Amino acid sequence: MSVSGLIIYRITHFMEKRRVVVTGLGVLSPVGSNVEDFWKALLAGKSGVGPITKFDASLFDARIAAELKGYDAEANFGIKDARKISAFIQYGVVASREALINANLKISDTDPHRVGVVVGSGIGSIGSAEEEYQKFIEKGPGRISPFFIPKMIINEAAGQISMDCGAKGPATCSITACATGTTCIGDAYRMIQYGEIDVALAGGTEASISILGIGGFCSLKALSTRNDAPEQASRPFDKERNGFIMGEGAGVVVLESLEHAKKRGANILAEVVGFGQTSDAYHSTAPEDSGDGAARAMVQAVKWGGHELSAVDYINAHGTSTSLNDKIETKAIKTAFGDHARKVAISSTKSMTGHLLGAAGAVEFAACVLAIRDQVIPPTINYTTPDPECDLDYVPNVARKAKVEFAISNSLGFGGHNATIAVKKFKE
């Protein structure tokens, strides 16, 4: 499309808020290296947490994490590229490939200039920084890799995905710590709504199980130290919770305008109907006590498409398994939903996957879409001791068959970032 044509297109479509649908999912997670394995594991209540194997963690208070199992970089990228491209970028590319296959979409079959990529990361390649600094200490500056900077910077995930699939629309990212995946999907949703693009690959990716990644969160006293029982360590909303579990992986979804999806005969999985984002303006790491920011994000997301809060059947909670998050998110849900808070089903899939940081929101959005597809809600596992401050329905321990026509996914990030995405069953 020419520049003049694009300008005319935007003028004629700007006021027209288009419907946006989900047509593809890609997931690389500690409980499954593809969408269906991931979903089966969640419904079975399978934990992906175990002892850290990526480095010697014996000196750390927390020695457990939710690592990917059986990931083969060379099989996905070849020997040369596997060395040049850092893990978090690789994970994003792999998830994007699956999402496109899942959507039965080849970028070459549509206008590549109308396809965007909005994929971010919370931390990027902290492991590359560790490796290159060690080279500097041992061998001097001449041994720092020329690939170091492109391996480390967060925007390279979107860049590499666009190169891999041929998408020539905007390739960008929003970085909002643990809300990154949700924010990126929300941004892509709005870009399609207002006619900037027709298709987007959107989500988040993370690979921060490293010395500094684990060490930094240990210093914050944020990680669970239940090292003797790793599969029981992530226990959102449970009274005995004592910190989150670091996870790794990626989630990428294909979003399309309804018009574009119908024109190519796509299988529509669900419809995105709202996005809310707010700031606590309070603290660099702690959520604000009242939960007001998270509550406002939920209300914004539901109201965006003109829906009532009582329409929500399921909330995939941020649910990190930390003392502050879980009780304040519970408070926020009560503030946002009032009496309906006690009727809506809530679960934290982080009880199984661990916390994928910048990828968490995208993986959890995928869980919401799958819950709508199959009319079943994944559980919050390891829920054994009720907490008086967390007294809602967290779908404890066992998946539940239920009517799920409208779901929201919450993500809350360091810096006071709150983001909620709303998705519902597609109807003509």
Checking if the pLDDT of 4 tops 80, the result is: no
Angstrom CA distances, 44 to 34, 40, 242, 252, 378, stand at: 16, 6, 24, 23, 8
pLDDT-derived band at 5 (thresholds 50, 70, 90) equals very low
Q: Tell me: the pLDDT tens digits for 40-70?
A: 999 999 999 999 999 999 999 999 999 999 9
Q: Rounded to whole angstroms, what are the CA distances from 191 to 3, 15, 167?
A: 17, 13, 15
| Averaged pLDDT for residues 392-416 | 98
pLDDT of 2 reads 42
* Strand pairing class (199-206; 171-172): unpaired
* pLDDT exceeds cutoff 60 at 278: yes
What pLDDT shows up at residue 422?
98
Average pLDDT in the 226-238 region?
98
Region 327-352: mean pLDDT is: 98
Name the pLDDT band for 14 (thresholds 50, 70, 90): very low
What pLDDT score was predicted for residue 6? 43
Going by C-alpha positions, the residue among 260, 261, 250, 358 that lies closest to residue 26 is 250
User: Does pLDDT of 8 surpass 90?
Assistant: no
> Checking phi first, is residue 238 left (phi over 0); if not, alpha (psi -120 to 50) or beta?
beta
Q: How large is the average pLDDT for residues 391-411?
A: 98
The question of whether 178 is a catalytic residue gets the answer yes
Exactly one of 165, 184, 318, 390 is catalytic; which is it?
318
Report pLDDT digits (tens) over 96-140. 999 999 999 999 999 999 999 999 999 999 999 999 999 999 999
Mean pLDDT, residues 283-306 = 96
For the cut 90, the answer to whether the pLDDT of residue 13 exceeds it is no
Give the active site residue among 355, 368, 390, 417. Answer: 355
The ranges of the chain annotated as CATH 3.40.47.10 are: 20-263, 276-424
237 pLDDT more than 90? yes
Q: Which residue has the higher pLDDT, 425 or 10?
A: 425
Q: Round to whole Å and give the CA distance between 139 and 156.
A: 27
Confidence of residue 370 (pLDDT cuts 50, 70, 90): very high
Indicate the fold that domain 276-424 takes in CATH. Answer: Peroxisomal Thiolase; Chain A, domain 1 (3.40.47)
CB atoms within 10 A of CB 281: 9
Q: What is the mean pLDDT of residues 33-39?
A: 98
pLDDT tens sequence across 132-166: 999 999 999 999 999 999 999 999 999 999 999 99
Q: What is the mean pLDDT of residues 328-334?
A: 98
pLDDT of residue 157: 98
- pLDDT value at residue 11: 44
Least confident of 2-11, 154-163, 187-196, 402-411: 2-11
Give the active site residue among 178, 184, 368, 390. Answer: 178
Q: What does the pLDDT average to over 359-369?
A: 98
Q: Is the pLDDT of residue 16 over 80?
A: no
Query: Domain 20-263 in CATH: superfamily?
Result: Thiolase/Chalcone synthase (3.40.47.10)
How many CB atoms within 10 Å of residue 134?
A: 12
pLDDT at 10 over 60: no
Q: What is the mean pLDDT of the chain?
A: 95
Q: What is the largest CA-CA distance in the chain?
A: 64
Strand partners, 251: 27, 204
| Global confidence as pTM | 0.95
For residue 209, what pLDDT is reported? Answer: 98
pLDDT of residue 15: 55
